[in-house]
Amino acid sequence: MAVLEIERRGSVVQLTLNRPDKLNAINNELVDQLLKTLAELATDDGLAALVVTGSGKAFSAGFDLAEDPDLNRADSATWHKMLNRDVAVTMALWEFPLPTIAAVRGWCLGGACELAMACDIVIATEDARFGEPEVRYGSGPTTLIMPFVIGQKKTNELLYTGDTISAPEAEQIGLINRVVSADLLEQSVTDIARRISCTPSKVLALTKLAIRRAYEAKGLRAAVNANLDISAILNSATVPERDRFNEIAQSEGLRQAFAWRDQQYGTIL
């Protein structure tokens, strides 16, 4: 089974994260496929828009914590190399020359939340939830674009607590564009992709370039690069809570580790 499904509908291509049994957790193979596919599609003259979604009941639960367990004992240089690939995926979406649309249902967490935020437009179902809960076990955001999407104060709250937010709240704070019922998600995405495709491709490409440069002039790229360095140090540091999380994950499984992690905050995600 392909971990990334590619479907072309006229001038629109849809990429579907396809690990439904793992809530589409992003593993190394999926990172490789996304990087390769985005690079290829970036040169497609017949493309007007790109849609990114997840199969099954979730967009994605974020990076796969069950993969690369030896990283728990890695030094900062090793972490930097690994995290750099994760950042590259998010930035490949951010830099994609034509409009991108994230179609989100269910969980959209961690690195997957960053993928969605890197898209130009996000449409979500009523049951979608967004956040970066990795801070709860001694890690942090890989690609720090949240402050540029929703502002400093709400970013502070989400990244200090690891809380998740509902789709209506995500819309209210500007993390997503709109909320629709589950049965209308596909049609809503199709409609906006069709409207986008009516705009001349050169206009789309140059308009997106102008918007992207405006955010980069505000320091987005510098912030992402600085955060990569800090994240490598953070992930290689000794954090007792992370050690305990990993112990529970190895002995009792990730579900129990997540439950232990979240109960410290008085809430289960």
Please compute the mean of the pLDDT values over residues 201-212 and round it to a whole number: 95
Model confidence pLDDT, tens digit, residues 139-178: 889 999 999 999 999 999 999 999 999 999 999 999 999 9
pLDDT at 248: 82
The CA distance from 239 to 244, in Å, is 9
pLDDT band of residue 251 (cuts 50, 70, 90) is confident
Is 216 one of the catalytic residues? no
DSSP, collapsed to helix, strand or coil, labels residue 180 as: strand
Looking at residue 69, what is its pLDDT? Answer: 62
Averaged pLDDT, 124-148? 94
pLDDT at 87 over 90: yes
The CA distance from 189 to 168, in Å, is: 17
62 pLDDT more than 80: yes
With H, G, I as helix, E, B as strand and everything else as coil, classify residue 7: strand
Q: Domain 4-201 adopts which CATH fold? A: 2-enoyl-CoA Hydratase; Chain A, domain 1 (3.90.226)
Which member of 67, 134, 216, 247 is catalytic? 134
Say yes or no to pLDDT of 127 above 60: yes
Among 29, 95, 114, 126, the active-site one is: 114
Sequence-ordered strand ranges (E) for 162-255: 164-166, 178-180
Tell me the backbone φ, ψ of residue 156, rounded to 5 degrees: -55, -50
Mean pLDDT across the stretch 118-140?
94
Q: What is the pLDDT of residues 10-41, one digit of tens each?
A: 999 999 999 999 999 999 999 999 999 999 99
Q: Is 251 left (phi over 0), alpha (psi -120 to 50) or beta?
A: alpha
Is 29 among the residues known to form the active site? no
Residue 113 CA, chain-centre distance (Å), reads 3
